[in-house]
Structure 1
């Protein structure tokens, strides 16, 4: 099937609890971020080339397309090369734990779905394979919550489980101004697991407990028990925060910003995503 004019907008995501531990079997809690969007637009042409704009996106997109073509050819399947102009615009900050790479992988998958004759059931695994190119090993959580477009719990054993909630507390996001590659953060956590396995296991267990508290808190808040819900969510975030400190993934700039947010009345503050910088998420009793 040939490529046709195509456009899609995909939202970002953020993680309340469960980062890193999710790849070792723990449950994580992830939420969509619809006010941050990545838009992909493809316009076919008769010219024998693919133009990618802006140019800084071209290397990774060409690498991803090349990996797909190699996979298709390895299975004796023809890959229809796209010719035309592919434009990417995004308000999702890069390297900030907001799902910029996952959003790109989902958008590319949706674009390729018809030409490659992917079923709806193929979409998650296809997008996850693309995300492996960014992080080395993707849990699939970011892909899952972006596809679900609603709050989910996620584990390797159960996949995405919608929480079924309609309202959430007031959260705000604050840029630390520091960036660390997700793969480097993952390597740091994996090295700890190899060097001090007992400590690494205890941190994973603490993160799992944080996710359980967060789940219960979100469900209670949605059911109208807001005070108790906020208490549990704040406790969950504090537990998750300690995990990031124990992993050594909280830079000085994040610590200073964290202190400022607590002084302004935040109930809890933690990094969201892989850590090492990126965004802090703050929980409030009312809108800040």
Structure 2
């Protein structure tokens, strides 16, 4: 087919700031360049046809039409006005905490921008509103990194600044063995806060400290920064522990990584499953099936 428009949106991983980002704590987020959603569009006069390809393309089947329906409703677009062929090719697993839903919302927003329905200045807020379908309440952090494709220090309803690093940590992400459901994890943390606001505030403050230490660690030379980064990851990991989002398969996987030589581990994303982040002194064993960050 003759392509009239194409765009890419990368997956993501979060270094620190999960959950607490909803309450104003900064989050440090990076694109995962090896996991990407590519959208291609060929204009025609035929009713809109959707084609799905790639390792995880078919997983988008149930998501795309729901997102498009919400977008059409928001912009008063008739579904019959959308014509042509939309090809989505994805290597981002759905429900893994890698930002598949954000990548989809960003790609569809850019496509609707190409068609003239969404202004470029509206991309972030419009894509974020679409992502509320999946998260109930989207902080916007996944949307921000999918839009920019670069490491960010993100504050909800505030700054989104590029994150420069002085050294390259030897870090990886890997699947915990259990599918993560973001909205369930978000609700579990909210329930804890409602039941014990003092404890909730204490954990948020600890996550804020982890973010501060991690950011500081990346600005220092590796010889000084590595120890600080380990401390930051340990502190962030303890927050997930207190939220009750490490139980079962994730806890076993975190222990396995430590047994195999990881010097720091923590969930990345919403927790309760999905992927975990690990830091290593040397190259880990290939049979662990780790994805380089």
Question: What TM-score do the two structures reach when normalised by structure 2?
Answer: 0.89
2:142 is matched with: 142
CA contact (8 A) 1:176 1:280 kept: yes
1:250 and 2:246 equivalent? Answer: yes
Q: How far off its partner does 1:50 sit?
A: 3.1
Task: Name the stretch that deviates more: 132-141 or 55-64.
Answer: 55-64
2:268 is matched with: 272
Q: How far off its partner does 1:254 sit?
A: 1.6
CA contact (8 A) 1:145 1:160 kept: no
> Equivalent residue of 1:275, what SS?
coil
Q: How far off its partner does 1:80 sit?
A: 7.7
1:96 and 2:99 equivalent? Answer: no
1:9 and 2:8 equivalent? Answer: yes
> Equivalent residue of 1:233, what SS?
helix
2:39 is matched with: 40
Q: Deviations over 1:223-277 (max 9, x none)?
A: xx10221111111110110111111111322222212211222110011000011
2:259 is matched with: 263
Q: Distance in 2 between matches of 1:55 and 1:263?
A: 35
1:198 is matched with: 198
Residues 180-259 of structure 1 aligned to structure 2 (within 5 Å): 180-220=180-220, 225-259=221-255
Give the total of aligned pairs: 278
Aligned partner of 2:69 among 66, 72, 85: 66
Residues 40-189 of structure 1 aligned to structure 2 (within 5 Å): 40-53=39-52, 57-73=60-76, 81-165=81-165, 167-189=167-189
> Equivalent residue of 1:94, what SS?
coil
2:279 is matched with: 283
Q: Distance in 2 between matches of 1:91 and 1:63?
A: 20
2:290 is matched with: none
> Equivalent residue of 1:203, what SS?
helix
Q: Deviations over 1:85-112 (max 9, x none)?
A: 2222211122111111111111111111
CA contact (8 A) 1:80 1:115 kept: no
Q: Deviations over 1:142-177 (max 9, x none)?
A: 111222222111112533111223642111111112
Q: Distance in 1 between matches of 2:24 and 2:80?
A: 37
2:17 is matched with: 18
> Equivalent residue of 1:177, what SS?
coil
> Equivalent residue of 1:46, what SS?
strand
Going from structure 1 to structure 2, the CA distance change for 1:161 and 1:194 (only over 3 Å counts) comes to same
Q: Structure 2: any 5+ residue segments left out of the alignment?
A: 285-293
Q: Structure 1: any 5+ residue segments left out of the alignment?
A: none
Q: How far off its partner does 1:139 sit?
A: 0.7
CA contact (8 A) 2:13 2:269 kept: yes
Q: How far off its partner does 1:217 sit?
A: 0.6
Q: How far off its partner does 1:187 sit?
A: 0.6
Q: How far off its partner does 1:184 sit?
A: 0.6
State the 4+ residue runs in structure 1 displaced beyond 4 angstroms: 77-80
